[in-house]
A = this chain, B = another copy of it.
Amino acid sequence: MMRTRPLKVALLGCGVVGSEVARIMTTHADDLAARIGAPVELAGIAVRRPGREREGVPSELITTDATALVKRGDIDVVVEVIGGIEPARSLITAAFEHGASVVSANKALLAGEGAALHALAEEYDADLYYEAAVAGAIPLVRPLRESLAGDKVNRVLGIVNGTTNFILDRMDSNNAGYSEALDEATALGYAEADPTADVEGFDAAAKAAILAGIAFHTRVRLDEVHREGITEVTAADIASAKRMGCTVKLLAICERAADGRSVTARVHPAMIPLSHPLASVREAYNAVFIEAEAAGRLMFYGPGAGGSPTASAVLGDLVAVCRNKVNEATGPGESAYTRLPVSHMGEAVTRYHISLDVADKPGVLAQVATVFAEHDVSIDTVRQGRNQSGGDAVAFEQGGGGRWEGGEASLVVVTHRAPEASLAATVEALRNLDTVRDVASTMRVEGE
């Protein structure tokens, strides 16, 4: 029953991912044809540098005119793996206008222009698939928008950036500082020469926007994602986390508010307990933890980047889109019917781990505890170097984290869950106390 006219695919970009897509399309052509129900053929590959050596990539397919390629009129599917906003956006738009469906691995574009691109796809009755844009080879977009389509997702908690996970993992296992771990990541090829997009959380924020949109059937703009990177994470923070039975991860967190009427999306480093499944995600691996009303707790784990894994996700989408073409159908499009507003970070509810440098004298703990109480932030535990007084109401344990220099002591406070805004106001008020020399670090505690 296999149709004989092959489906024609235009490949935009032939770097690490593109060349692997081209290679697999060639070497596994029979398998792809059997799974699609029609042969599939690479019709052209648009590149910027045509002279570059590309092993296993048919040179007669190479062109530098991407626009002409997508406008040829006989292209069934355009695979976009060039990244960035332009020219990717214009090329995808032209692809839809000329009858093609699109498979993209472009997280920045999907996070920034997803709504407009989905509208175009719908207008032209075409597919827009982008599994590879979030966490590489790990199936996430499809499980969220199809497998969990009959469920209600309440929370997505993910390690979606391999570079930062590698750095934090090294800081944790080797007691390395941030710069030292970054150097190692760079040397091993896990971090780019300019690591900003990774270490400042931009990459993770784009993925968080995409995940939140799919998970909650709404639209989340990139600028609605609260973003903090890992550059401020210190060896002391990691050590503090260890003392609490935690480790530090850069998390992308998408949550439905308790009343169900809004959502939040945020990216920041956080402490999570070692018993949490995400804590054991090592090196440059990615993993996404999903809490759904009926399904319960699910986790998806795998390589979040790299040529082959990303190509695997692209090709899975390519098979699906080609099948749809053969069946003259389209897959599920954007689902944003809930139109849930995205709340400010101040409304996110979380726990805080706060390290304070305080004056080493009686009554400080009482003062500090009062500030927390005034902001309605309930304290879970306090750790200090020695018992400062007997009169304070809060419980505390005698820990090993105290530091005593010139009349200073350190105080570590872990709070119960409270709105981010209350926690921020508490920290602000603590800074204004005479007895608090410095708020040495604040970090959220998640995953409980």
A residues contacting B by CB (< 8 A) are: 20, 24, 28, 31-32, 34-35, 131, 137-139, 142-143, 146-152, 217, 277, 280, 292-303, 306, 308-309, 311-320, 323-324, 327-330, 332, 335, 337-338
Contacts and interface: CB of A to CB of B under 8 A. Distances in A.
A192 to B, nearest CB: 21
Nearest to A277: B301
A302 B317 CA distance: 24
A349 to B, nearest CB: 24
- Copies in the assembly, this chain: 2
A138 B298 contact: yes
Q: Which of A24, A147, A293, A335 has the most CB of B within 10 A?
A: A147
A320 B32 contact: no
B316 A148 contact: yes
B296 A151 contact: no
B294 A24 contact: yes
A139 B301 CA distance: 12
A303 B295 CA distance: 7
A180 to B, nearest CB: 24
A144 to B, nearest CB: 9
Which 3 A/B pairs are nearest by Cβ-Cβ distance? A150-B315, A139-B147, A137-B295
Contact of A329 (B146, B151, B308, B329): B329
A287 to B, nearest CB: 8
Contacts of A31: 152, 217
Given A35-B217, A149-B320, A301-B299, A20 B294 contact: yes
B308 A295 contact: yes
Given A34-B335, A217-B34, A295-B303, A320 B20 contact: no
Contacts of A320: 146, 149
20 contacts: A34-B338, A138-B298, A142-B147, A146-B320, A148-B316, A149-B316, A150-B312, A150-B316, A150-B317, A150-B319, A277-B280, A280-B280, A294-B315, A296-B302, A296-B306, A297-B303, A298-B301, A299-B300, A299-B302, A329-B329
A315 to B, nearest CB: 2
Contact of A327 (B293, B299, B309, B329): B329
